[in-house]
Structures are given as structure tokens and as C-alpha cells.
Amino acid sequence: MTKKERRSQHDLLQIFPGIFKIDDKLATLNAYPGNTVYGERLIDVDDKEYRLWDPFRSKLAGAIKKGLKSSGIKKGDSILYLGAASGTTCSHISDIIGKNGIIYCVEFSERPLRDLISVCEVRDNMIPILGDARKPQEFKKYIEGKVDFIYQDVAQPDQIRIFKLNSDMFLKDGGEGFICIKSQSIDVTKSSKEVYKESVKELKEYGFEILQEVELSPYDLNHLFVHVKK
């Protein structure tokens, strides 16, 4: 069983909607008290429960640690998450959006999907979808209307094109997104900086406004985290 600790309000600092620091460690307010997803520690502050958020396990946490200026995501949002894996980052977003929000978690590999489904059984604001992010028309039927935000972490050579495809189909006008650009998945013969520059240029050519770029080392090597607006 995960060990639970106690802290006082003095140790708690809210840095973004639904995102906190406790003793300089990131945490989200647990929307499903008692539930842990990847062995993270739970901490009680007064009558509320927080889940510590590991920046080495989640690129969004890494980006916040590296100076992300806005978390983009807020309570009640609808989110399309491409490359959900077993649901580590999705579960923290599930905390941030709360029970009135919804996060559609798309994953094409059956092994992590099995773990993801177990997480979604408890967290009913997470919807697991077995689907290929390259074929949004195939999972369109599971998504209600347009979403406020797209989070993409698929580590594929055509990741920018995939983001554009999904944005055209699902993202509201003025909606925002995070794209985790893994340079090694795009072109191993070029330097990471070169790949980042070309990827950001491609995003701009597709008409996205670049709100911020955050390089993720040491939390994730060869990754650029980009915050965009449609």
C-alpha cells in the first residue's frame, strides 16, 4: 500500500490551476482520493489529498519544472490525449480537469492500453481509446464535439503532421495544445536543435501560434515541449 504523509497549508503552494508545489515537489489535487497510478506518494494537507508528480515520468511535469509559463489546462476542460501509454500523465491531467472534465486517451499499443483501462475504470473522466493517432477519422465516433486542448506524445517521425490532422478534426478555434517533439524519432542524422527548428517552422506554416518552447533535459533528453494555439 502507498504510504501516506501529512503536511500543513504552509507547505502547499498553488502554481497553476489544479497544480501545486509541496516542499518544492510537484503535485496534483487527487480527484479520486485513495487512487494511485504509478506508485506515486500521496500527501494529505488538511482534508485534501495530493498526488506527487514525478518530472522524470511525465513530460508535462518536466516542462513545468523547466519554466512552462502556463499549464494551458483547466478545470472542466475536454482534452484529447494522443499517445496515452499506461496513463501516467493522463492521470494527473484527470486530476487537473476534475470530474466535470473529460480526457480522451488514445493509444495504439495493446500492452500499455491494458494498464490504461485499469486506470480509467477508477477515473471515470478518462476514456480509453484503442486507436492510431494517424487515423483520427477511425476514433472520431468516440469523441463528443470539439476539445479545448490536445496533448500529443507519440514519438513518431510525422508527429507534426499527426498533430495538424487531429487539430483540424477535433480542436476548437482558439484551442491550445502541447506537443512533445522527440528529435530522435524525427531524424537521427540531424542535431536535436536542427530538428526542433524545423518542427517549429512546420507548426507555424500550419498556422499555429507558438506560445512557448521548453527543452526538457535533464528530465527527458532530446525532447522539446511546445505549447501552441490554434
Binding site residues, ligand SAM, CB under 6 A: 58-59, 82-83, 85, 88-89, 106-109, 112, 132-134, 153-156
CB of 90 to ligand SAM, least distance (A): 6
Q: Are 216 and 169 in contact (CB under 8 A)?
A: no
User: What distance in Å separates the CA atoms of residue 158 and residue 162, rounded to the nearest whole number?
Assistant: 6
Cβ distance to ligand SAM smaller for residue 45 or 176: 176
Q: Angle of helix 192-205 relative to helix 159-170, nearest 10 degrees?
A: 30
- Torsion, Cα 16 149 129 116, to 10 degrees, reads -10
Residue appearing with cell numbers 512557448: 212
Cβ distance to ligand SAM smaller for residue 17 or 112: 112
Q: Dmax of the chain from CA atoms?
A: 53
CB of 133 to ligand SAM, least distance (A): 4
CB of 139 to ligand SAM, least distance (A): 9
| Helices first, then strands: H and E counts in the chain | 7, 13
Cβ distance to ligand SAM smaller for residue 23 or 121: 121
CB of 108 to ligand SAM, least distance (A): 4
Q: Which three cell numbers stand for residue 127?
A: 476514456
Cβ distance to ligand SAM smaller for residue 52 or 154: 154
Q: Which three cell numbers stand for residue 61?
A: 511535469
Q: Which amino acid is at 227?
A: H
Residues 6+ apart with CB under 8 A from 22: 7, 11, 12, 13, 43, 45, 50, 52
Cβ distance to ligand SAM smaller for residue 12 or 71: 71
Residue sitting closest to ligand SAM (CB): 83
CB of 222 to ligand SAM, least distance (A): 12
Secondary structure percentages of the chain, helix, strand, coil, to 5? 30, 35, 35
Cβ distance to ligand SAM smaller for residue 132 or 213: 132
CB of 86 to ligand SAM, least distance (A): 7
